[in-house]
Chains A and B, each alone.
Chain A
Amino acid sequence: MSRILLIARREWLEQRRQPAMLGVIAFLDAVIAGLALSAMVVLMLLDRDPVAAQQFQDALPGFGAEPGQLIGELVSTVIPLTNWLIFTQFLGMSAVLAGHSVLHDRQENTLPFLLLAPLRRFELLAGKVVGSIGMPFVFYVIFSGGACALIAAMPVAAPHAATLPPSPAWMVAFFLGGPAWAGAIGAVCAIVSTMSRDVRTAQQAVWLVVLFAQFSCGLMLTALLPSGVLVQIGVALAGLGTAALTLWLGSQVISRDLSR
């Protein structure tokens, strides 16, 4: 465990000295949070003003909503979309960092010295995955968590309280399910990083993984939110199990032989 944290801490130390990269991650999270909040504020203001709401509905003929229901339908779209975006972006950011992690060591020629040390392959991969999740998690909590908390405080979001904080299902999904599945996706990408010999191959492979992650893990985390806390605990445990299994498989597949 100590070597896993040692590797993760080194990753974080290096990332902290890459302000531009951290800025991009923070900016992306802030943009999603800002768009979601802006949309919800507009819907909340419209909801408070029946005349404006009617004018808004009149301006969108054929949208499909029954009279007087457009605001509610838009809220029902914005909240799941926000949850999906915050989960998928967190998964994607972690995956991209993990997908470059071991390759970075190969490029800097630090890999031989990691392999020379008494470091198990599982520890190397797990340390890289934890190191890849850490910084995106900080921004995910600050921006995404903050935006969702503000949205939850809006009266117009009240019918969706079960899929927003502080509902137990959302809390489990946000603090456990998201990181667990980020770990699972990160583990796949860390293995990709181990096997890649060049940045382009790693990037394309990671993009492939991220695409599937968005349409599987991201949708699962979002779609199952209304199913309650027990289901979310199950989703989180499945994520942790998948992460552990993937890391174990990776430790069996990757070779200590530097040439492979």
Chain B
Amino acid sequence: MPVSALISAQALGRSFGKRQVLQDVNLDVQAGELVALIGPNGGGKSTLLLLMAGLIAPTAGKLLVDGRDAEQLALETTGTVGLITARPGFYPLLSGAENLAFFGGLYGLSAAEVTAKAAPLAEELGIGGSLDVAVGSYSSGMQQKLALVRALLMSPKVLLLDEPTANLDPVSADALYRTARDRANSGLAVVVVSHDLHAVEQVCDRVAVVQGTVVHSQALPGEKVVPEASGLLALYQQHVSEE
């Protein structure tokens, strides 16, 4: 029985002025699948991700998320899409908890509901003790973990990650990929833009090469695990204490 895709790009195109960034992109992402978008800088990976989030509109074709037009979904959504960008996007003078309460509030969650949902996630990611501290004093890794907590706050069906491990140390990057893999295993459609081919190979189910369009897409064989067993990471963790 065919499985309907949670994300479906159909002849998708996007131009900025006269510059055609993406054209004729066809890509489906199923529930439970973790797909990596790789390719050169300026190839259109981040643009494709923003199209999937409904944050920019296509100039050609269409993009369906959970069966609905992505841009329309962004207007109606109650949290179908969770997004993480390379720059996490928080108010630096507010604490982690205040940031989460604000963004959760936009979705109609009360402060108590946000705390109930966020606290276990934050603990799992190792930032539970820092939620009352101003985000401006967080390290890049802590901010990305907080971004992951925010992205998962509304229990999204789709998780989009745009170079989430840029500027992260190996342990933080590992924790982020581990969570992304776990969420895919629990049924989310996860799309990650990354230049970290090693992590992509280990974690992702499929890779799509994007250079103006999806020039190639293929499944990545093998057991999908985060690099927990990697000898180098174990060595790193042994000698470097986590924040």
Q: Name A's B-contacting residues (CB within 8 A).
A: 3, 6, 10, 13-14, 17-18, 108-119, 256-259
A113, A119, A257: the one contacting B56 at CB < 8 Å is A257
Given contacts A109-B88, A257-B55, 13 further A-B contacts (CB under 8 A): A3-B105, A10-B94, A10-B102, A17-B94, A18-B93, A108-B92, A110-B91, A112-B85, A115-B55, A117-B77, A118-B76, A118-B77, A256-B71
Distance of B119 from chain A, by nearest CB (Å): 20
- Whether B83 and A116, one on each chain, are in contact in the complex, defined by CB atoms closer than 8 angstroms, is yes
| Across-interface contacts of A111 in B (CB, < 8 A) | 89
* A108-B91, A113-B150 given; A118·B53 CB < 8 A: no
| Across-interface contacts of B81 in A (CB, < 8 A) | 116
Q: Name B's A-contacting residues (CB within 8 A).
A: 16, 50, 53-57, 71, 74-78, 81, 83, 85, 87-94, 98, 102-103, 105-107, 134, 150
* A118-B76, A256-B74 given; A110·B89 CB < 8 A: yes
**What is the bound-complex CA distance between A110 and B88, given in angstroms?**
8
Closest to A110 in B: B89
- Whether B53 and A10, one on each chain, are in contact in the complex, defined by CB atoms closer than 8 angstroms, is no
| Across-interface contacts of A108 in B (CB, < 8 A) | 89-92
| Across-interface contacts of B83 in A (CB, < 8 A) | 112-113, 116
| Across-interface contacts of B150 in A (CB, < 8 A) | 113
| Across-interface contacts of B134 in A (CB, < 8 A) | 17
- Whether A118 and B16, one on each chain, are in contact in the complex, defined by CB atoms closer than 8 angstroms, is no
**What is the bound-complex CA distance between A17 and B134, given in angstroms?**
10
- Whether A6 and B91, one on each chain, are in contact in the complex, defined by CB atoms closer than 8 angstroms, is no
| Across-interface contacts of B89 in A (CB, < 8 A) | 108-113
| Across-interface contacts of A3 in B (CB, < 8 A) | 105-106
Distance of A100 from chain B, by nearest CB (Å): 14
